[in-house]
Amino acid sequence: MFETGTGVGGTWYWNRYPGARSDSESWTYGYSFSEELLEEWEWEEHFAGQPETERYLNHVADKFDLRRDIQFKSRVTAAHYLEETRGWDVMLEDGRRYSTRFLVTAIGVLSAPTMPRIPGVETFQGQSCHTHYWPKEPVRLRDKRVAVIGTGATGVQTITEVAKTVGHLTVFQRTPQWCAPLHNGKISEEEMRKIRANYPEIFARCQETYGCFIHATDPRAALEVTPEEREAFWEKLYAEPGFGIWMGNFRDILVDRTANALISDFVAGKIRERVKDPVVAEKLIPKNHGFGTRRVPLESGYFEVYNQPNVKLVDITETPIERITPTGIKTSNSEYEFDIIIYATGFDAITGSFDRIDIRGVDGASLKEKWKDGPQTFLGILVDDFPNMLMVMGPHAGLGNLPRAAEYSADWATGLIRFARDRGLTRIEATAAGATAWTDHVIASSQGLLFAEVDSWMTGINRNVEGKNVRRIMRYSGGHPAFRERCEAVAAAGYRELWLA
């Protein structure tokens, strides 16, 4: 295993910015494969902060003695398939080279951070950093003049936390978000005891739902019920912890424009109630996309931050940022001075982590080139012309509660490698027809879903990256149960849909 960081944890190793926290229930977020692990681990909070999740992942690495197989500080820069050996030549940044029969990529969905393309970024004389690269050493925020650029899930968490200590905070917002309350809380001993006793049911429920969360879609349509019932249901969801308002809502809010407009109005009403200045409230209400059509950031007092006298919201659609200066940020109508600039500007999502490795398959074909107009995969795990490469959480896999999905993806890939090894097969490849059929199915499964009409990292948009300005279907939207069913069928039929040799 090659790992760029100096420790385990991936997302939870890197993203140590203030307020970094999981929006999945912690007790659905751990590994399910070891009863002993489930038995001994005590989650402290219903939604674990970065330190707790990082501690958990270190515990897992220690418990299963994983570190002896991991080479830290090892960035893979290239991986080339060689037909002569039916293996991969893996090259590292420091010049080391390794060869392997199978190449498993577990390089993350959101692991290639991107800085904004704003002139002058490198000229700023104060402290600045992308949230992904937040330093391990404490950053002194008290009494500082701080800027945050970006208001995605990361920006929302960062803003809420830093607003507690900074001297003055200025938020530069391009697109407001439909945030909803997280309602986090400590887990009591009694609750943890119940959780432990219920792990089989909890994981079984996650298997049944669309996104592997404990929240299952309500079978009713929004307009099937009376306005009073609808309102009461939404009040209930808004008051409950986690993604219920997104994943456990009426079945049609993410497909039907009228239903979506109604839930959007409901959440807009909440923003208006929570933000005192009506002008600021309007700026915080999304106008160009409906509720849930982008990843819903869960928050813990985000909107109230804008009631603080030391917090200013700058809508950069009105007054665009012209440049970063040595002392701060210049917009079209003002010049701001800062001690610290925080870039919460997101990631080159899903394919970005692949694009930055020179991955070459049969006859030197480049993966980046192959995916130029959008990924093509078989089950999000295999790619034709790239034999013996298996992707854990590659493009076209389902997203959602990631550990649940990643565990399945890892198991399926392991099953296939075992199958090959047991039969002396040395070459596994998706067929071109298989990859085309899966890619077509992935695209078809997103038809009619409102998210597909909106710019976001989930539709492959990142204006800070060359060529990532056209919407593409990057993930499977048919839901995890359907995904697993398809994967199971392929395995049960002896992987005959693959090209095995």
Q: What residues line the site for ligand NA7 (CB under 6 A)? A: 110, 116, 118, 149-155, 174-175, 295, 316, 344-347, 457, 464
Shortest gap between Cβ of 457 and ligand NA7 (angstroms)?
A: 4
Token pair, residue 460, equals 């492959």
Instruction: Note the Cα 417 to chain centre separation in Å.
Output: 27
Q: Give backbone dihedrals phi and psi of 144, rounded to 5 degrees, phi first.
A: -85, 155
CB of 20 to ligand NA7, least distance (A): 9
> What is the smallest separation between the CB atom of 489 and ligand NA7, expressed in angstroms?
29
What is d(CA 55, CA 66) in angstroms, rounded to the nearest whole number? 15
Measured at the CA of 210, the angle between CA 204 and CA 295, to 5 degrees, comes to: 125
Q: For ligand NA7, give the closer residue by CB, 181 or 346.
A: 346
Residue closer to ligand NA7 by CB (options 105, 401) is: 401
With contact defined as beta carbons under 8 Å apart, do 345 and 114 qualify?
Answer: yes
Complex with ligand NA7: residue 347 or 408, whichever CB lies closer: 347
CB of 213 to ligand NA7, least distance (A): 13
**DSSP at 42:** -
DSSP state of 298: E
Q: How far is the CB of 252 from ligand NA7 (least distance, A)?
A: 23
**Nearest-approach distance from CB 335 to ligand NA7, in angstroms:** 17
Q: Report the nearest approach of ligand NA7 to the CB of residue 204 (Å).
A: 24
Residue 5 and residue 14 in contact, taking contact as beta carbons nearer than 8 Å: yes
Cβ-based nearer residue to ligand NA7, 319 or 414: 319
CA distance 130 to 328: 16
Task: Determine the Cα–Cα distance for residues 396 and 84; give it in Å rounded to an integer.
Answer: 30
* Single-letter residue type at 396: H
Q: Cα angle at 109 between 108 and 113, to 5 degrees?
A: 90
Query: Smallest Cα–Cα separation from 210: which of 489, 456, 461, 451?
Result: 451
* Closest to ligand NA7 by CB, 109 or 490: 109
Q: What φ, ψ does residue 418 adopt, rounded to 5°? A: -60, -45
Burial (CB count <10 Å: 0-12, 13-18, 19+), residue 442? buried
* Chain position whose Cβ is nearest to ligand NA7: 152
Of 150 and 387, CB closest to ligand NA7:
150
Pairing outcome for strands 145-149 and 127-130: unpaired
- Closest distance of CB 325 from ligand NA7, Å: 15
In the complex, the smallest distance separating the C-beta of residue 185 from ligand NA7, rounded to whole angstroms, is 21
CB of 296 to ligand NA7, least distance (A): 9
The Cβ of residue 327 has, within 10 Å, a number of other Cβ atoms equal to 15
Nearer to ligand NA7, 27 or 457 (CB): 457
Query: Which one, of 373, 496, 372, 375, lies nearest residue 435 by Cα?
Result: 375
Q: How far is the CB of 221 from ligand NA7 (least distance, A)?
A: 27
Say which residue the tokens 């993966």 belong to: 367
Q: Of the candidates 24, 12, 300, which has an alpha carbon nearest to the alpha carbon of residue 159? A: 300
Q: DSSP letter string over 457-494?
A: GGGT--TTSTT--S----S--S-HHHHHHHHHHHHHTT
- Judged by beta carbon, residue 119 or residue 415, the one nearer ligand NA7 is 119
20 or 103: CB nearest ligand NA7? 20
Smaller CB distance to ligand NA7: residue 79 or 285? 285
Closer to ligand NA7 by CB, 110 or 147: give it: 110
